[in-house]
A and B are shown apart, each in its own frame.
Chain A
Amino acid sequence: MNPSSQELLIDIRGLKTHFPLDEGVVKAVDGVDLSIHRNRTLCVVGESGCGKSITARSILQIVDKPGRIVEGSILYYRQSGMGNVEVIDLAALDPYGAAIRDIRGKEISMVFQEPMTSLSPVHTIGRQITEAIRLHMPLSKREAKAHAIEMLRHVGIPQPELRFDDYPFQLSGGMRQRAMIAMALSCNPSLVIADEPTTAVDVTTQAQILELLARLQAEHGMAVMLITHDLGVVAETADDVAVMYLGQVVEFGTVEQIFFSPKHPYTRALLKSIPTMSRRAQGRLDSIRGMVPDPFNRPQGCPFHTRCEEKIAGVCDRIAPPRITLEDGRDVRCLLYAQDIEMTPVQDAA
């Protein structure tokens, strides 16, 4: 892939978001590197609790207390007219400050998992959308309302003039998620982060929502960061894929690279666990050996070595793999691909 820097929108380097709790520090995100490019869809996949959502929330600095970004940078390449690009480190902004609030909802917006609980139960859909519009665009009340209705129509909600005054509980799950998307798109952002937007809706609606996102992306020319644990969704929608495990991106490449020649043992294991039609019906579904380690008790060395089928004894349990960029441009965090440090520790152990 190796896109030119012109297209770069978000560049996350060494991001660490930790939650200091009484029982210890939960390192939800522990050294994430990934980049998002203009007009492309990045899918972030991984098991529950691998830090996908926290990574996404770190971009907007809306991590719940007591979590906070402790290290790393989130560079945002903002287009400031006439082809100039201004670089802002989002990780360095005050989470309550005006600078980050200007970006939230306007340049980077978010679609959440549960449209029922993510929308306020006591405000109308229209009110919640116009609030975002009026916050970021110099529109009058009437213009904002017209714009909101236009957005509702745009995301395929029938009779948007009537739905404008509805409360979330009066809409179906799919309609609610559409309203949520309308809200996220209302200020024409350059990046929409969708955090498992289809987990709470049924399969038919899921397909419609994903299609809608794809159509809107094409029309608005924005980037989409789609968080999911569903590899089927990834295959359908992604341009780029980041595979996460225990707070790190273990493999990052284009969708073709990830699906056709996965390099990291975890990616391979993930792909093997997908049920396919072609597989013999009586064959057992492969699952990944072992359990996700306790968040307070992270393994030494490579976080995946406890479950890895290709681990090198004496190496993987001691050395944390660095980010390695392969020749085809993808990144992988696995000692199998390390050139210079591989052999010494084995002799140590022998």
Chain B
Amino acid sequence: MLGFIARRILYAIPTFFAVSIVAFIIIQLPPGDYLTTLVASMASQGETVDPAALEALRNRYGLGEPIWVQYFKWMSNIFLRGDFGQSFEWNQPVASLIWNRLFLSFMLSLSTLLFVWAVALPVGIYSAVRQYSLGDYAFTFLGFIGLAIPNFLLALLLMYIGFRFFGQSVGGLFSPEYQEAPWSWAKFVDMLSHLWIPIVIIGTAGTASLIRIMRANLLDELRKPYVVTARAKGLPEHQVILRYPVRVALNPFVSTIGWVLPALISGEAITAIVLSLPTTGPLLLRALMSQDMYLAGSFILMLSTLTIIGTLLSDVLLALLDPRIRLE
């Protein structure tokens, strides 16, 4: 088991570097480097830049040096000093801008994942056990619709419904009085009461596809001989189904986290933009629009890293569930 985890972590390292290279390329893609943008934006405000400070920055990011040196400096700054670079739009270090939002993004994605599982698991089991029943057809149809509606459209729709019929805005994660307040229990409770709308919006598509996966897996498992064995033991039917085929079908279900999580984080970004949630999405979009590339690149790097870690955890969870993987 420990060997398995160690191997998985080892696999994750090259993936992380690949992600960091992609993020770095995205930072480098727009014409001109960070300093030219900085000088231009300060000049437009009638300020001048101290040449010595400019030189210091040039050294820090290795600007003007070969591209791989720049990459190396960027990475070592992140690892050694937690320095993600400078956001010229906010005139602040990127590190001071991202953590809070990343935390909320992470919370939101995680809650959505739990929601998706909590809904998809029982519905998938129901659909498989009662295959071709009215309920099965209804869920299948709902599932198709869930897959066809883009997140942002669902968000717009809910916002419109909330505004039109309930006269309230559904955006944001906090009520106005808690917006700037420090974290407290009351703020947490307030967040929970706002959280369900983005969770439903982000989770719909994932729930729909997971229901289909769970249903298909379980239908396969229900035909396996070990189900008959369990029945022949004299177990009551619900225990037969829950203890054996459902338990086995759980493994591929858990392994879907590898692509559900990236999809949720994607969906979180776009939903957050529409609902203007204080998470990474809106800031990432703004950074990209204004070509504030260190900020944008850091978001992409961190979101992808979170995904990698999530996938890693799901692999470990899978190994715990499935002895065939654990003991290979």
Contact = CB atoms under 8 A, between A and B. Distances in A.
Interface of A: 57, 60, 62, 64, 96, 98, 101-106, 109-110, 112-114, 117-124, 131-132, 135-136, 167, 169-170, 180, 183
A180 B327 CA distance: 22
Contact of B230 (A60, A96, A120): A120
Interface of B is mostly: helix
A98 B235 CA distance: 9
Contacts of B233: 104-105, 109, 131-132, 135, 183
Nearest to A107: B234
Given A120-B248, A121-B248, A121-B324, A135 B234 contact: yes
Interface string B222-244: 01111011111111110000011
B322 interface: yes
Contact of A105 (B234, B243, B321, B323): B234
A169 B248 contact: no
A167 B327 contact: yes
Given A60-B232, A118-B228, A167-B327, 15 more contacts: A62-B232, A96-B237, A101-B236, A104-B234, A105-B234, A118-B226, A119-B229, A121-B324, A122-B322, A123-B247, A131-B233, A132-B234, A135-B234, A170-B327, A183-B233
Q: Nearest 4 pairs between A and B by C-beta?
A: A104-B234, A105-B234, A105-B233, A118-B225
Nearest to A108: B232
A342 B247 CA distance: 59
B304 interface: no
Contact of B226 (A104, A109, A117): A117
B37 interface: no
Contacts of A120: 226, 229-230, 244, 247-248
Contacts of A96: 236-237
Given A122-B321, A122-B323, A117 B234 contact: no
Q: Which of A64, A109, A110, A122 has the most CB of B within 10 A?
A: A122
20 contacts: A101-B234, A104-B233, A105-B232, A105-B233, A110-B232, A112-B228, A112-B229, A114-B225, A117-B225, A118-B226, A118-B228, A118-B229, A120-B248, A121-B226, A121-B324, A135-B233, A135-B234, A167-B323, A167-B327, A170-B327
B323 A103 contact: no
Contacts of B229: 110, 112, 118-120, 180
A122 B251 contact: yes
B232 A104 contact: yes
A118 B229 CA distance: 6
Interface in B197-252: 223-226, 228-237, 243-244, 247-248, 251
A272 B231 CA distance: 39
Contacts of A122: 247-248, 251, 321-324
B4 to A, nearest CB: 15
Nearest to B231: A62
Contacts, number: 78
Interface residues of B, number: 24
A104 B234 CA distance: 5
A114 B228 CA distance: 12
A149 to B, nearest CB: 18
Contacts of B235: 101, 131, 135
A100 to B, nearest CB: 8
Contacts of A117: 224-226
A109 to B, nearest CB: 7
Interface in B14-66: none
A307 to B, nearest CB: 31
Interface string B165-182: 000000000000000000
Given A112-B225, A117-B226, A120-B226, A102 B324 contact: no
Contacts of A136: 234
B242 to A, nearest CB: 12
A314 B322 CA distance: 62
Contacts of B322: 122
A106 B244 contact: no
A104 B225 contact: no
Contacts of A109: 232-233
Contact of A62 (B228, B236, B324, B327): B228
A131 B226 CA distance: 14
A77 B327 CA distance: 46
A106 B234 contact: yes
Contacts of A102: 234
A135 B327 CA distance: 29
A155 B279 CA distance: 62
Contacts of B247: 120, 122-123
B234 A169 contact: no
B305 to A, nearest CB: 31
B160 to A, nearest CB: 46
Nearest to B228: A62
Contacts of A114: 225
B171 to A, nearest CB: 45
A106 B225 CA distance: 19
Contacts of A60: 232
Given A119-B226, A120-B248, A167 B231 contact: no
